Amino acid sequence: MVLLAAEGLPNAEIGRQVGMTRQTVIAWRARYETGGIDALADLPRSGRPPVIDESAVISS
């Protein structure tokens, strides 16, 4: 989204290309403008952290 915005595409067109709403594009662009590339990382979530069976993922 950020790269498409840098190319000058409007929010609605970016949303169509990436399969998100215009409002979501606006939110992500604002997040990037506020905190740079680090702001695009996943935010911590509440609840129990997921348990990943690494051996099952590797063998898949």
Q: What is the pLDDT of residues 10-45, one digit of tens each?
A: 999 999 999 999 999 999 999 999 999 998 888 788
- Please determine, for residue 52, whether its predicted confidence score (pLDDT) is greater than 90: no
**In which domain, by residue range, is 10 found?**
1-40
* Rounded Cα gap, residues 3 and 55, in angstroms: 35
* Rounded Cα gap, residues 7 and 59, in angstroms: 40
Residue 53 domain flag: no
CB 31 within 8 A of CB 39: yes
Residue 28 domain flag: yes
Element (H, E) at 53: none
Residue 9 domain flag: yes
**Residues 20-45, buried b or exposed e (16+ Cβ, 10 A)?**
eeeeebeebbeebeeeeeeeeeeeee
Give the model's confidence band at 60: pLDDT under 50 very low, under 70 low, under 90 confident, else very high.
Answer: low
pTM (predicted TM-score): 0.67
Please tell me the total count of domains within the chain.
1
